[in-house]
Structure 1
Amino acid sequence: MTQPDAPHSPPSGQPVNPPSGPAQARPGPLDGLRVVEMGSLLAGPFVGQLLGDFGAEVVKVEPPGVGDPMRAWGRHKPQGHSLWFPVIARNKKSVTLNLRQQAGQALARELIAGADVLVENFRPGTLERWGLGPDDLHALNPRLVIVRVSGYGQTGPYRGRAGFGSIGEAVGGLRALSGEPGQPPVRVGISIGDMLAGTLGALGAMMALFGRLTSGQGQVVDISLYEAVLTYMESMIPEYALTGQTRERSGSVLPGIAPSNIYPALDGNGQPGEWVVIGANGDNVFRRLAAAMGEPALADDPDYATHEARGRNMTAIDERIAAWTVSLPATEVVARLEEAGVPASRMYSARDMMNDPHFAARGNIVTLPHPVLGDFPMQGVVPRLTATPGSVRTLGPELGQHNAEIYGERLGRSAEALAQLAADGVI
């Protein structure tokens, strides 16, 4: 075991941060940290993705034969290959392990004994049934940080309920506010509830590791999907408690915040069909917008001169802005507002991102070689650290690709023993 203020060192002879594609040669800030990921699908694996991006060794434990269902998910699967799994499993190693067998549970204990962090997103009580609950694991490895992601948390009357990210979005309040007034709630086009939980799970792991510097002890990080969403719900709770007002769906605007909306514009052929988002709700910014529109007097009109006045008259001001934007190509609207110092943008697609010079300059899209699909582009690492930046070093691994390395080289199993474990359905 290492000292309380140091992570585990990488195996002897293994590169600290092997460069691949655009990855930096410098080690990440979590270099040497050992993480065991027992999660599947999204929330738990996103914790592992974030930690792996910054240099942690993430060993992903998957069921033999099928692996993480994410290997098969996705709307588009060229040549049968998921386009999602290589992203969420990047920078990870894959081992197979049947945690429902006692032999698998015993092997898991060996693996976790040398880890700094365990990430899991089973339903509460599952690890305990397998003899892998926090009490058991902390007796084995007192310094272990255990990140537990679930639908409703490890305590409370709902702890045993199943929960996906979509359920967390509903219970946490996001779905009720998403969509147009008077219409059914809608979802964001990504699995935002899972991603929020994963982000907070990684943050919780970092805080627990920091706490370990002084205590020398690990702890449990309890993340629920609904609480992860609830955390981001701004003033929804005090608005209801103190004013009796329940926030409702408001479409593309925030009530009382104006102008901050999407506005119609022309496409490259001079036809309606593009949209521009403009955020000019500050008094000074609105003055610059009015000037760019050729209507500087609007900034002094009592109906629009202050933030409060614009909030009361947001429909009228949005109509005036839309009458201006719809007469111009979207690119020209954005160019004029950029020159005026008014925040504005077209709606970016993946094509826009991959051809944008700012995305290129910032390294927002990184490309690594895929063994079947060739060049494989994906989003880069965020946040950006100047001295110890994160990197994308490898795409998601093949199922069980690292069994020999982890079970053989690290845990000392012979080739014959590994073959027997495979034959017995343990790995």
Structure 2
Amino acid sequence: MTDTLTPVLTANWDQPDSFTLDGYSRDGGYKALPKALAMDPDDVIATVKSAVLRGRGGAGFPTGMKWSFIPQNDGKPHYLTVNADESEPGTCKDIPLMMANPHVLIEGIIITCYAIRASHAFIYVRGEVLHVIRRLQLAVAQAYEAGYLGEDILGTGFKLDVVVHAGAGAYICGEETALLTSLEGYRGLPRNRPPFPAVEGLYASPTVINNVESISSVPSIIDKGSDWFSGLGTEKSKGYGIFSLSGHVKNPGQYEAPLGITLRELIDLAGGMLRPGHPLKFWTPGGSSTPLLTHEHLDIPLDFEGVGAAGSMLGTRALQLFDDTTCVLRAALRWTEFYQHESCGKCTPCREGTYWLVRAVERLEQGEGTDEDLETILDVGDNIVGRAFCALGDAAPVPISSAIKYFRDEIILHSKNGGCPFDPAASTAWAV
């Protein structure tokens, strides 16, 4: 079973000096860089396209195709912005990656900037994770000292400067246009599109925005080839990815495996469910913004198509597992409260809709609601989705609407019993 794992980004995490230049270089780090710099930039893009690397930040858009959207010979500076503002509830892969292996991100940044003809790159990190910011700053300084950053990199004439930028802790800044607005020094609010960032992004110039794991996957593709990468995973979801298991599992953590692995396999790798006799009740395949699934979906392939066919999204592969001791309505309420708190307030559907969602779900959870409240919640959600400036509005109704889909009877019992009827001592009372 352990052969299922494919440690690439996580291969050296157990080494005490994995975060240093020496530790990274000892394990083959910066081997892909001279190879990439000897290629034509368009060939680098073609290699990433051929590997079919899809964005690891949640949307799954082909990375090489995104790079190719950058106009060339336009007389404008080009920028790369790495989205390291990991704030999605349950998502916890980029922070440990940057903490344990920051140089793989730096090497990926250099190769990416060479491919898109950019001479400036920014790593936008959550300001709360000061330890990660310091580690990134150390890695950038080491890369400058080694000649991997700065002027005339490896004698090729290519130059690149990298800035580690600390955000102010707003979930909305994980949305790419709000991130750019924040990076420019303004309040992080999403922008209208078009124009898209590839045409008019940071400082009104062509900009590529990629997730940490997406950029970090580039060196292995250049080093081992696109055929090697596309040989992993499934037919349409190629390669490997970091799956973050948290919640009611014996050994939570990061499991790097080919896309298409099942949750059942991952739970086995993690030593099984936490409490004997308490089975899996519900789980998120990609963080709280992805619709809940149940134990009936244990064997679906965890790739973009398989999870989509089951009615959810692969997202960031943040697998939050809840056993039958958990009240699904209480969990949905906590997530909904998060989205209300983190709404930037720019657009009315999200600002007002999230407020009323929380009020309605609170009434239900306290046993003061009615059956009609369920339809009201679904109606409010329908009036948010597709009507907001950014994806936060689309995500906000997801926890409660998917909870209603699978656990309507349990939610209704809250009202009938005048409060939460859930008995955590009963091992299978609410297993679905």
Q: What's the TM-score, normalizing by structure 1?
A: 0.22
Computing the radius of gyration from Cα coordinates, the structure with the larger value is 1
The answer to which structure, 1 or 2, has the higher relative contact order (CA under 8 A, 6+ apart) is 1
